[in-house]
Amino acid sequence: MTKTLLLLPGDGIGSEVTAEVRRIVDALGLDVTLQEARFGGAAIDADGVPVTDETVALALAADAVLMGAVGGPKWAGQSFDTRPEAGLLRLREAMNVYANLRPARCFAALADASSLKRELVEGLDIMFVRELVGGVYFGKPRGIEMLANGERRGLNSHHYTTGQIRRVARTAFELAKGRTGRVCSVEKSNVMEAGLLWREEVQRLRDEDYPEIELTHMLADNCAMQLVRQPKQFDTILTDNLFGDMLSDEAAMLTGSLGLLPSAALGEAGRPGLYEPIHGSAPDIAGQGLANPSAAILSLAMAVRHSFGEERTAERIERAVETAIEGGTRTRDIGGGASTAEMGQAIAAAL
């Protein structure tokens, strides 16, 4: 049956990399109806808000949503509620995509592009499962307030409920069953109550429902260090919204570039997923044809796998990205001179 894919190019390199996603959809001849809507800064400029109610409704009615990137200096001075990033948070919340899968795999041909030694990253395959609709990103109260003594105070709240922790932990355990069965849960249970609850609930769910899973716990600061000391010790890393954001950017460099890491944000079964490269709008290279479209194209592969249920086509896209890189076509971030379009063409040709 024809699937619906809503493309949200967004800002900066977002539109450049989603153009290459279109190229791949066309080259594959996928049975997909493509829709497109403004998002982020582009929507602020045209519609006055980073995401309109109509776009949220389109997303909820689609089979999958693929977002490029949002944000940029043009909108950085605005209040939080009207920034491009707020549109992304609103969409994640509206779609209730609480489990964010961020795979960090090192392609053999790129082991030397990593900032770590080849032997540390060769064969690396980590799956981050980042909680995406809770924690400090969404906690209330929040804001900047004026104190009686004339000082200003910035305030954010970090909290998690049992249910929020258990549902994302379940996703991580289910995924790990199809991998090596090892899950490392990452928090700061030594200083944060929400971290302590996280550790307790993850352990409890493992003991109740997943005795076959080998679960370990690690403090987030140690995890940041271990990722660059001995990254191959990890298989599945389960963590909260903020730590997951930071640790996945760190892990991107193990694979060679931020331009390589895709993501899938999933909610309840049968609901649409939200797919995004993990990188941002990259204002420093936007508009120059320098962006690596691989992360966006690999995000399409994740959409095809998780929302369209077409595992073989997903693997075909992933293999084509690897083949194009092995064949020597590389954008600047991974040591080559290819443009965004040339990289997309090489991937399309390798399908």
Ligand X SMILES: CC(C)[C@H](C(=O)O)[C@@H](O)C(=O)O
Q: Whole-angstrom Cα distance, residue 257 to residue 113?
A: 8
Q: At its nearest, how many Å lie between ligand NAD and the CB of residue 334? A: 8
Q: Whole-angstrom Cα distance, residue 157 to residue 137?
A: 8
Active site residue 26: no
Buried-exposed string 81-94: b where 16+ CB fall within 10 A, e elsewhere: eebbbbbbbbbbbb
Nearest residue to Mg ion by CB is: 245
Structure tokens at 315: 């693997």
Burial (CB count <10 Å: 0-12, 13-18, 19+), residue 336: middle
Q: In the complex with Mg ion, which residue's Cβ is closer, 205 or 253?
A: 253
Q: Across 158-296, where does the E strand assignment appear? A: 182-187, 214-219, 236-239, 264-266, 273-275
Q: At its nearest, how many Å lie between ligand NAD and the CB of residue 76? A: 7
Active site residue 209: no
Q: Whole-angstrom Cα distance, residue 16 to residue 153?
A: 39
Q: Whole-angstrom Cα distance, residue 143 to residue 164?
A: 23
SS3 content of the chain, % helix, strand, coil (to 5): 50, 20, 30
Of 6, 106, 127, 282, the one binding ligand NAD (CB under 6 A) is 282
List 11, 240, 245, 333, catalytic entry: 245
Which 306-335 residues touch ligand NAD, going by CB under 6 A?
333
Q: Is 245 a residue that touches Mg ion (CB under 5 A)?
A: yes
Q: Is 20 a residue that touches ligand NAD (CB under 6 A)?
A: no
Active site residue 207: no
Query: Strand 214-219 to strand 182-187: parallel, antiparallel, or no bridges (unpaired)?
Result: parallel
Q: In the complex with ligand X, which residue's Cβ is closer, 100 or 340?
A: 100
Q: At its nearest, how many Å lie between ligand X and the CB of residue 330? A: 23
112 is in an annotated binding site: no
Q: Are 89 and 138 in contact (CB under 8 A)?
A: yes
Q: Is 88 a residue that touches ligand NAD (CB under 6 A)?
A: yes
Q: At its nearest, how many Å lie between Mg ion and the CB of residue 346? A: 27
Q: Is 299 a residue that touches ligand NAD (CB under 6 A)?
A: no
Q: At its nearest, how many Å lie between ligand X and the CB of residue 188? A: 18
**Interface segment toward ligand NAD; rule CB under 6 A; list 27-35, 110-118, 139-147, 289-297:** 289-297
How many Cα neighbours within 13 Å face the side chain of 317? 30
Q: In the complex with Mg ion, which residue's Cβ is closer, 215 or 264?
A: 264
Q: Point out the annotated binding site for NAD(+).
A: 72-85, 280-292
Active site positions, annotated: 137, 188, 221, 245, 249
Residues of this chain that bind ligand NAD (CB under 6 A): 13, 69-72, 85, 88, 258-259, 276, 279-285, 291-292, 295, 333
